[in-house]
A = this chain, B = another copy of it.
Amino acid sequence: MKISARNQFKGTIIELKPGVVTAKVIIDIGGGNIISSVITMDSVDDLKLKPGDNVTAFIKSTEVMIGKE
C-alpha cells in the first residue's frame, strides 16, 4: 500500500516508553537523525511494537513548521 503522507522515514525503534493512554516511541532513521513519536498504547499493542523493530515513520506535510534564523 502506498500512503499519501509525503514524509516517510524508515528506521529502527530504539526506545519505547509506555504510558497509560499514549506511549513514546523513539526511532533512529540514520544519518544521525532521530524521530520522536507519541501514539496510543492501543497502537503499540496492535502492532506489537518493541525496541529493535524495523518501522516507517509517516508525517503529513501540513504538520511541518519551518524556522529560519
Q: Measuring CB to CB, which residues of chain A are less than 8 angstroms from any residue of chain B?
A: 1-7, 9, 17-25, 27, 29-33, 35-40, 42-43, 46-49, 53-69
B31 to A36, Cβ gap below 8 A?
no
Q: Are B5 and A65 in contact (CB under 8 A)?
A: yes
Are B37 and A65 in contact (CB-based, < 8 A)?
yes
CA distance A9 to B47 in the complex (A): 18
Nearest residue (CB) in B for A13 is: B66
Given contacts A1-B68, A30-B31, A58-B65, contact A36 B47 (CB under 8 A): no
Are the CB atoms of A58 and B3 closer together than 8 Å? yes
Which of the residues B1, B2, B7 comes within 8 Å of A36, measured between beta carbons?
B7
Question: Are A38's CB and B22's CB within 8 A?
Answer: yes
